[in-house]
Amino acid sequence: MKITVKFWSYFRDLTECEETLLEVNEGKTLGDLHATVMTQFPKLAEMKNSTLKAVGVDYQTDEFVLSDGDEVSLFPPVQGG
Amino acid sequence: MKTQLTLTSNPIPESTPLMTDGMGAVVTFHGVVRGTEDGEPIRAIDYEANEPMVRHQFELIFAAIEKQWPIESIHLIHRVGEVAENDPSLRVEVIAPHRAEAFAACQFLIDEMKAKVPIWKRAVR
């Protein structure tokens, strides 16, 4: 499956890119994907516990099972207002 | 409940609430850029938004408000891009029959926004 991972806010500084395209096996979860991303971008591992995760426009938990073509967003705590 | 959500890089305009029959309360909140961040002076804050997700998350918050309180309308404007110190970055206007639900809904909206709506800021020094 092909999954697009987008980075927001200072996560872009940590990864030095806006997004990456990952190939993952069927049945992988959002948590699995996050682990893969942290291997590829080790600086994100320091933010592991405060990272917020969304698929499309909805927040999801680590147990969420991904589908081909999903767009995942990873970002730090939000700061609107 | 009527809602209007605007994300804009332009200054937030002055406006007069459009009242309808039976509405007795308008709560308006402005969030304003402070001139300091972590004790250091700044000249602006640069706001970044994941716009499709921002719109969706606000819709979820509006739906939650509609379930809890009899609100007539919510009009929300949030700036994106650079906002100078002392300028408003956020304006929320809640119209309701009575003040209690208007205050409660406004407080709930802002609390939920600060937890869930994907907007981030960067100090500009």
- For the stretch B64-108, pLDDT in tens is 999 999 999 999 999 999 999 999 999 999 999 999 999 999 999
Minimal C-alpha gap between A80 and chain B (Å): 5
Minimal C-alpha gap between B111 and chain A (Å): 10
The range of the structural domain enclosing residue A17 comes to 2-75
% of chain B with per-residue pLDDT over 70: 100
Q: What's the CA gap between A13 and A73, in Å, rounded?
A: 15
With a CB cutoff of 8 Å and minimum separation 6, the contacts of A6 are A18, A19, A71, A72, A73, A74
Asked if residues A70 and A55 have their Cβ atoms less than 8 Å apart, the reply is yes
Helix (H) or strand (E) holding A4: strand A2-7
Q: What's the CA gap between A34 and A11, in Å, rounded?
A: 13
Nearest residue of B to residue A73 by CA position?
A: B50
Asked if residue A45 belongs to a domain, the reply is yes
Q: Along the 81 residues of chain A, how does pLDDT read in single tens digits?
A: 999 999 999 999 999 999 999 999 999 999 999 999 999 999 999 999 999 999 999 999 999 999 999 999 999 999 999
Asked if residue A49 belongs to a domain, the reply is yes
With a CB cutoff of 8 Å and minimum separation 6, the contacts of A71 are A3, A4, A6, A55, A56
Asked if residue A26 belongs to a domain, the reply is yes
Q: State the virtual CA torsion across B62, B63, B68, B72 in degrees, nearest 10.
A: 60
Please identify, in words, the CATH class of the domain defined by B2-124.
Answer: alpha beta
Domain total of chain A: 1
Q: What is the ipTM of this complex?
A: 0.96
pTM above 0.90, yes or no: yes
CB < 8 Å to B48, chain A? 8-9
Partner residue facing B120 (CB), from A56, A59, A79: A79
Asked if residue A37 belongs to a domain, the reply is yes
pLDDT category of residue B31 using cuts at 50, 70 and 90: very high
- For the stretch B109-125, pLDDT in tens is 999 999 999 999 999 99
Asked if residue A81 belongs to a domain, the reply is no
β-strands B73-79, B2-8: how paired?
Answer: parallel
Determine the pLDDT at residue B100: 98
Determine the pLDDT at residue B80: 98
Determine the pLDDT at residue B51: 98
- Phi/psi region, residue B114 (left: phi>0; alpha: psi -120 to 50; beta: rest), is alpha
**What is the domain-level CATH number for residue A32?**
3.10.20.30
